[in-house]
Amino acid sequence: MGEVILPSPKNYNVVRNGAQMSLAEIKTAIEQLSFEERAELAAWLHGWKDDEWDEQMKRDIAAGKLDAVLREMEDDIEAGRLRDMP
């Protein structure tokens, strides 16, 4: 099975007014939005087209690089080892 590299959220930064925003700062900014603004942002994010990472994931799945992980997940489901996220 080939190596699958996932990006770390710690590496995500956004530039605002020439300064980088960390993920924590972005989350804080989102929390300050009105309900309407958050709904607009959520709709925009939901409609976002696949980016490079999404396309790479599709290629990895098609190439079978995630087959072992998917089998493990299916085994966990069948064995009842899953629980709801908090």
Q: Longest Cα pair distance anywhere in the chain, in angstroms? A: 51
The pLDDT value recorded for residue 21 is: 81
Check: CB of residue 26 under 8 Å from CB of residue 14.
Answer: yes
Would you call 18 helix, strand, or coil by DSSP? coil
Residue 20 reports pLDDT greater than 60: yes
| pLDDT tens string 24-83 | 888 999 999 999 999 999 988 887 777 788 889 899 999 999 999 999 989 998 998 887
